[in-house]
Chains A and B, each alone.
Chain A
Amino acid sequence: MEDDDRKSSTKNKPQKFWEWAIASMILRLILIYFSKNLNFSSRPEVSTPLTSLRRLAEGYWLKQSSLSPYAGSMYHGSPLLLAVIGPLTAIRISGQPSHLLCSFLFVIADFITAMLIRAMGQKLQSAYSQHLKSLGLDKVLKAPEMLSSGDVAALVYLWNPLTIVTCMGSSTSPIENFFVTLSLYGACARLVPLASFGLVMATHLSLYPAILFIPVILLLGYGIDTPPRKLFLQKDSGNEMKLSSDISSQHIGMTNHLALPSFSWRLPMYFLLWASIWSCYILALCAVSVYKNGGLKEMFKRTYGFILTVEDLSPNIGVLWYFFAEVFDFFRDFFLIVFHMNILFMILPLAIRLKHRPCFLAFVYTAISSLLKSYPSVADSALYLGLLGLFANELSDMHLSFFLFCGYVGVNLLSPIMHNLWIWRGTGNANFYYATAMAYACFQIILVVESVSAMLKNDRMLRRLSTIKDSCIEKTTKIS
């Protein structure tokens, strides 16, 4: 997608990362001043009933008027967000666009997210190259197209038009994305409290990041993305064979044995402990803030209940709104269960197959939840496209990438047009808009499927290389 065209720019001037990052910030700051004209905040692609800042302002107003912020089916977010961002929505600086302070907050959140992605990418790459070295596949690293994936991913995230639109569009999704990235970074950097805090907050804000629990556990247990374990075992057996013949290579064998990824339960246990501490803490804070207005039960009903039952049927880029606007009431519960189970069904197969690459697994989970969630927005796409940049090297031989890029561009241009035709002009039909949503879903499916298959192919390639190399070594040892 967008990473394809970024690659060339970053490849030529890899040292110019900071210039590009700062340029993207400046672009955002410039666009903030035109936010009123751009009017992104009311776009269905940007603000969903869950993330709309306007609804947050309404919730804050209701709370200030000593009503429950959840009264009136307007606000469905977290009470903590209300306490933090709420006051910012009420402050209006004369002569400036409304929600200026919130926009600054979102710009900062975007920037930190990009930095976290970059740090994650650097960690990933160093770990990966170390593993490859230990496998003896140094020549893969030496390939000229090897990029610093952290920079690529961060720039993809910062310069992605979808991210920029989300940041301009006054929705709280930059904050959600920030917490998701924070938890992944924390897991990569083995900072257990940070990872658990990020995950608990992200889950608290939008529920779906809860499935990232598995990749975070795997990250803490196995360590950062590695080639499949089997390779090391093969390599080990090869080394042992070599060991019998050549004693001098004993040292290498020992290092390999150390690098062999094995699941350690120490950090995941810490993680569970910290996660429970953080969730208790956050629930306690929520309970305090909604104490007078129905308590936690009401909060769960209005936030998670609203997400799971798809009550709001206003159009968005997902497919569930139209489905539930049309489906017969009798089958509503059945399909609600089916669609949400679809997310859960894929968790286990993916976890089994990609357990050696937890970061990639996290990317796939994010993409799947963005595809199947009840109120998706382009912010979710922005996040997983940013994470996709982390695997620019591994996925370099992905199929259909140009087709997907064109598809994303096409759908993102066509969808507002169809929306305009249907809602504003009244000349179009709901089916037109729905068709673009359908196409978008298909492209996301293709992206997920192709990236998973490319990653598996990459692993296969590594295995082939290592076996070839092993056989070469064997041959050489035999000859000697």
Chain B
Amino acid sequence: MGFRRSILNLLLLCYFVYAAATVAVEEEAEEFHEELLLKPLPDRKVLAHFHFESKANLSPSNGGRHFRLFPKSIYQLVHKFHIREMELSFTQGRWNYEYWGGFDPISRNNARPPGVELWAIFDVPPSQVDALWKNLTHTLSGLFCASINFLESSTSYSAPEWGFRRSSDSLRYGTLPREAVCTENLTPWLKLLPCRDKAGLSELMDRPSIYRGFYHSQRLHLRSSEFSPMDLDSGIRLEQTLTIVLQPGSQRVGMSYNDEAITQPSWSMSSLFGRKVNGRCVLAKSSNVYLQLERGLVSELKNLWKENDGSRSDDVTNENFLTNSVFELSVSSDRLIREVVSLDNEESSVLYLFWIEKNADAKPFDLALIWKRPVIWSSSQAPLHANRFLMGSGNERGSIAVSLKPAEHVESYLATGLSDNECKLRVDVFQVVPWYVKVYYHTLQIFVDGQIQPIYNVIEKMRVSPSEDKVSPGVLELVLKFPCDMKSAALTLEFDKGFLHISEYPPDANQGFDIPSAVITFPDFQPNFHFDEDSNQSPMLSRLKEISPALAYTEVLLVPLTTPDFSMPYNVITITCTVFALYFGSLLNVLRRRIGEEERLLEDRAAKKVGPLRLLFLKLSTKLRGRPLERVHSPPSSSSSAATKLVFKVVLVAAIASAWQYYYK
């Protein structure tokens, strides 16, 4: 007994020693960062953007199987399905491109269509991609408690070639616009964080205050270089972001936003979330809070200061910037990061950095922004505003229209974007249409400034993969080139509404069906922030620095489809079959009427010479019917023949039945 115990102890000791030795290695192999970006929005709302990043280097030393911080389920996912890149987003609400920014890295990275959006790039030959995708959807649906498994069916996902992202043919893209997103999706997402929501910034995620917001998008981005042997730094990077738009001081929601005299509502983290940050997540390598003042706001602030006291220098980096006449911060920032802009006439946005480590050790960290004077500014706009509509009435047909309107300051963007003498504005459109919306692609019409244009004047490149009934959705990828000075543009496509089998309608069929958002990309415009100092430390800032084209998602369209009567399949079956029986029976009856006549003739002849056996039958049948023989003298021949026929039929059936029985014994 004692001996066994000592062996056990020894083994345990060995294990601990080994673990302690490996921790040092793994600390380099795995990293976790948590960051929060807060940004006041022009329409009196506040954007809160949580960014968590886990990184795991798959060194051969630990076999890539043992993790301290990195969620193992994600590693298994990547490993099993050979994922090169994947993004899954759960969104509730629609991003307001006009007020919340349509041309900054945050909106580009985090504005997502309502419901679930999933895309993945696989690292396998194209023939195996579909099978992997189907398995992946099931796994994710189990992992995130969502009906992502509906993306398994080939009618709901598509394989964009170049319209969505520049990628190979191993990309699959699917959306579920109807998916309701709620706390049961957030909880498994939080489980992937090393501190869950027990410590660190995720402590702020008080469910009622998060879901009270105007917009809520929870995103999971995976990038793996496990399967690319060229990359020495092989590893998996898991990026989890939660973007929320909240209304501070929700008791004043009813007020008009356009009233210029009203100052922005002041807010603090505790008033927004109902909680404070009690400390950092100790497992995190960095734990920062940023407050961003965007370009428009900064230039507006400068104007205000100039008006107020021209003496003060308009250097935003000035230390007394914190206690200025327009707003006040409750906590002094630890660092100030300025954006580097290429052009002189442009303002640069400003980031205040707060280290949780430093600020939250004595008392809980609670950043507050108190506005003293009204400020009106506008956020950065995408070069074109994209909207999508349904046209037409009735449930038979309709048309989809995508309208593109240049934003107010498009000229300045265009000046930066292009310097050719022939100015063209390039727009990529990627649109997936479910099969029951049967689009006539030959009806594609393009209007520029209200004038219909020959489509090949505008379309540079086009790829159509028409929808197949009950097999695949229709995919439209377009590269459009518009003249820069256009005032408006519109694309219209006509469609017929399909009719489904009753089992294919969802439970609330009368609500209608959703056409997923179209993705409008502006490849010539690549919003990104250049910061004045090396900010490689922060993964969020490096994400903001990334160069990729601006994109916008259009509205989800709700198409009402005609419904059959769900309650009466039996009636329909029986009535239809009755009509067919009527047809068959009556036509056959007409055709054999002559034969009947001839038979009657023959019987009349036969009745004249009734044999003794037949007379017996006659008497028998009349007796069975209980009628006197005399009364039915004229028709008896037919009745007797009917009786013989009946007897014959009974005998025949009995014989067949007995033969059947005998045969199958």
When chains A and B are docked, how far (Å) is the Cα of A312 from the Cα of B438?
Answer: 11
Are A342 and B583 in touch, CB under 8 angstroms? yes
Are A423 and B469 in touch, CB under 8 angstroms? no
Binds A, one of B270-278, B346-354, B392-400: B392-400
- B433 vs chain A, min Cβ distance (A): 11
- What 1/0 flags go to A366-377 for Cβ under 8 Å of B? 000001000000
Name the contact of A445 in the complex, choosing from B393, B464, B503, B582 (C-beta under 8 A). B582
Are A326 and B572 in touch, CB under 8 angstroms? yes
When chains A and B are docked, how far (Å) is the Cα of A190 from the Cα of B395?
Answer: 50
The verdict on A54 contacting chain B, using a C-beta distance below 8 Å, is yes
Residue of A nearest to B583 (CB): A445
The verdict on A67 contacting chain B, using a C-beta distance below 8 Å, is yes
Give chain B interface residues in 421-473, CB to chain A under 8 Å. 435, 438, 440-442, 462, 464-470
When chains A and B are docked, how far (Å) is the Cα of A449 from the Cα of B422?
Answer: 74
- What 1/0 flags go to A324-348 for Cβ under 8 Å of B? 1111110000000011001001100
Are A456 and B594 in touch, CB under 8 angstroms? yes
- A464 vs chain B, min Cβ distance (A): 12
The verdict on B498 contacting chain A, using a C-beta distance below 8 Å, is yes
Are B568 and A371 in touch, CB under 8 angstroms? no
Are A424 and B586 CB-contacts (below 8 A) given A319-B576, A326-B573, A445-B579?
no
Report the contact-size class of chain A (Cβ under 8 Å from the partner): 35 or more
The verdict on B564 contacting chain A, using a C-beta distance below 8 Å, is yes
When chains A and B are docked, how far (Å) is the Cα of A393 from the Cα of B466?
Answer: 53
The verdict on A85 contacting chain B, using a C-beta distance below 8 Å, is no
Residue of A nearest to B498 (CB): A314
When chains A and B are docked, how far (Å) is the Cα of A456 from the Cα of B594?
Answer: 9
Residue of B nearest to A431 (CB): B565
The verdict on B11 contacting chain A, using a C-beta distance below 8 Å, is no
Interface centre among A73, A328, A349 (most CB of B within 10 A): A73
The verdict on A422 contacting chain B, using a C-beta distance below 8 Å, is yes
Are B466 and A74 in touch, CB under 8 angstroms? yes
Residue of B nearest to A353 (CB): B591
For B469, what are the chain A residues with a Cβ–Cβ distance below 8 Å? 73, 311-312
Name the contact of B501 in the complex, choosing from A55, A324, A423 (C-beta under 8 A). A324
For B499, what are the chain A residues with a Cβ–Cβ distance below 8 Å? 312-315, 321, 325
Are B395 and A319 in touch, CB under 8 angstroms? no
- B405 vs chain A, min Cβ distance (A): 28
Are A345 and B584 in touch, CB under 8 angstroms? yes
When chains A and B are docked, how far (Å) is the Cα of A312 from the Cα of B499?
Answer: 8
The verdict on B124 contacting chain A, using a C-beta distance below 8 Å, is no
Are A434 and B441 in touch, CB under 8 angstroms? no
The verdict on B486 contacting chain A, using a C-beta distance below 8 Å, is no
For A424, what are the chain B residues with a Cβ–Cβ distance below 8 Å? 393-396
The verdict on B483 contacting chain A, using a C-beta distance below 8 Å, is no
Are B562 and A430 in touch, CB under 8 angstroms? yes
Are B579 and A441 in touch, CB under 8 angstroms? yes
The verdict on B608 contacting chain A, using a C-beta distance below 8 Å, is no
For B580, what are the chain A residues with a Cβ–Cβ distance below 8 Å? 338-339, 342
Name the contact of A449 in the complex, choosing from B563, B565, B586 (C-beta under 8 A). B586
Name the contact of B572 in the complex, choosing from A61, A323, A349 (C-beta under 8 A). A323
Interface centre among A71, A325, A353 (most CB of B within 10 A): A325
Are A326 and B440 CB-contacts (below 8 A) given A67-B464, A442-B579, A453-B590?
no
Are A349 and B501 in touch, CB under 8 angstroms? no
Are A58 and B396 CB-contacts (below 8 A) given A67-B466, A353-B591?
no
- What 1/0 flags go to A186-210 for Cβ under 8 Å of B? 0000000000000000000000000
Are A326 and B569 in touch, CB under 8 angstroms? yes
Are A57 and B565 in touch, CB under 8 angstroms? no
For B503, what are the chain A residues with a Cβ–Cβ distance below 8 Å? 329
Are B466 and A456 in touch, CB under 8 angstroms? no
Q: Is the interface of A mostly helix, strand, loop or mixed?
A: helix
Are B568 and A431 in touch, CB under 8 angstroms? yes
Are A426 and B395 in touch, CB under 8 angstroms? yes
Name the contact of A72 in the complex, choosing from B466, B562, B569, B575 (C-beta under 8 A). B466
Are A60 and B568 in touch, CB under 8 angstroms? no
For B563, what are the chain A residues with a Cβ–Cβ distance below 8 Å? 430
Are A58 and B441 in touch, CB under 8 angstroms? yes
Name the contact of B590 in the complex, choosing from A323, A338, A449 (C-beta under 8 A). A449
The verdict on A296 contacting chain B, using a C-beta distance below 8 Å, is no
Are A42 and B591 CB-contacts (below 8 A) given A65-B464, A326-B568, A430-B565?
no
For B591, what are the chain A residues with a Cβ–Cβ distance below 8 Å? 349-350, 353, 452, 456
The verdict on B255 contacting chain A, using a C-beta distance below 8 Å, is no
- What 1/0 flags go to A236-253 for Cβ under 8 Å of B? 000000000000000000
When chains A and B are docked, how far (Å) is the Cα of A338 from the Cα of B573?
Answer: 13
For B498, what are the chain A residues with a Cβ–Cβ distance below 8 Å? 313-314
Residue of B nearest to A345 (CB): B584
Interface centre among B496, B503, B584 (most CB of A within 10 A): B496
The verdict on A438 contacting chain B, using a C-beta distance below 8 Å, is yes
For A308, what are the chain B residues with a Cβ–Cβ distance below 8 Å? none
The verdict on A471 contacting chain B, using a C-beta distance below 8 Å, is no
Are B576 and A329 in touch, CB under 8 angstroms? no
The verdict on B213 contacting chain A, using a C-beta distance below 8 Å, is no
When chains A and B are docked, how far (Å) is the Cα of A325 from the Cα of B502?
Answer: 6
Residue of B nearest to A89 (CB): B442
- B597 vs chain A, min Cβ distance (A): 9
When chains A and B are docked, how far (Å) is the Cα of A55 from the Cα of B439?
Answer: 10
The verdict on A322 contacting chain B, using a C-beta distance below 8 Å, is yes
For B593, what are the chain A residues with a Cβ–Cβ distance below 8 Å? 453, 456
Are A62 and B466 CB-contacts (below 8 A) given A325-B499, A423-B395, A423-B562?
yes
The verdict on A462 contacting chain B, using a C-beta distance below 8 Å, is no
Give chain A interface residues in 433-475, CB to chain B under 8 Å. 434, 438, 441-442, 445, 448-449, 452-453, 456, 460
When chains A and B are docked, how far (Å) is the Cα of A55 from the Cα of B582?
Answer: 35
- What 1/0 flags go to B373-391 for Cβ under 8 Å of A? 0000000000000000000
Are A72 and B564 CB-contacts (below 8 A) given A339-B580, A350-B591?
no
Residue of B nearest to A424 (CB): B394
The verdict on A8 contacting chain B, using a C-beta distance below 8 Å, is no
The verdict on B474 contacting chain A, using a C-beta distance below 8 Å, is yes
Are B572 and A42 in touch, CB under 8 angstroms? no
The verdict on B588 contacting chain A, using a C-beta distance below 8 Å, is yes
Name the contact of B396 in the complex, choosing from A42, A55, A349, A434 (C-beta under 8 A). A42
The verdict on A276 contacting chain B, using a C-beta distance below 8 Å, is no
When chains A and B are docked, how far (Å) is the Cα of A430 from the Cα of B561?
Answer: 12
- A315 vs chain B, min Cβ distance (A): 7
Residue of A nearest to B560 (CB): A426
- B623 vs chain A, min Cβ distance (A): 39
- A116 vs chain B, min Cβ distance (A): 28
Are B466 and A452 in touch, CB under 8 angstroms? no
Residue of B nearest to A56 (CB): B442
Are B587 and A448 in touch, CB under 8 angstroms? yes
- B444 vs chain A, min Cβ distance (A): 9
Give chain B interface residues in 537-596, CB to chain A under 8 Å. 562-565, 568-569, 572-573, 575-576, 579-580, 582-584, 586-588, 590-594
Interface centre among B393, B466, B565 (most CB of A within 10 A): B466
The verdict on A429 contacting chain B, using a C-beta distance below 8 Å, is yes
For B462, what are the chain A residues with a Cβ–Cβ distance below 8 Å? 65
Are B582 and A323 in touch, CB under 8 angstroms? no
Are A60 and B569 in touch, CB under 8 angstroms? no
For B568, what are the chain A residues with a Cβ–Cβ distance below 8 Å? 326, 431
The verdict on B629 contacting chain A, using a C-beta distance below 8 Å, is no
For A62, what are the chain B residues with a Cβ–Cβ distance below 8 Å? 441-442, 464, 466
Give chain A interface residues in 12-64, CB to chain B under 8 Å. 42, 54-55, 57-58, 60-62
In the complex, the 7 A-B pairs of residues with the closest C-beta atoms, listed nearest first? A72-B466, A61-B442, A424-B394, A73-B469, A326-B569, A313-B499, A453-B590
Contact residues of A with B, CB < 8 Å? 42, 54-55, 57-58, 60-62, 65, 67, 71-74, 311-315, 319, 321-329, 338-339, 342, 345-346, 349-350, 353, 371, 422-424, 426, 429-431, 434, 438, 441-442, 445, 448-449, 452-453, 456, 460
What are 19 A-to-B residue pairs whose CB atoms are below 8 Å?
A: A42-B396, A42-B397, A62-B466, A72-B441, A72-B474, A74-B440, A313-B500, A322-B576, A323-B572, A349-B587, A353-B591, A422-B562, A424-B394, A424-B395, A424-B396, A430-B564, A431-B565, A449-B583, A460-B594
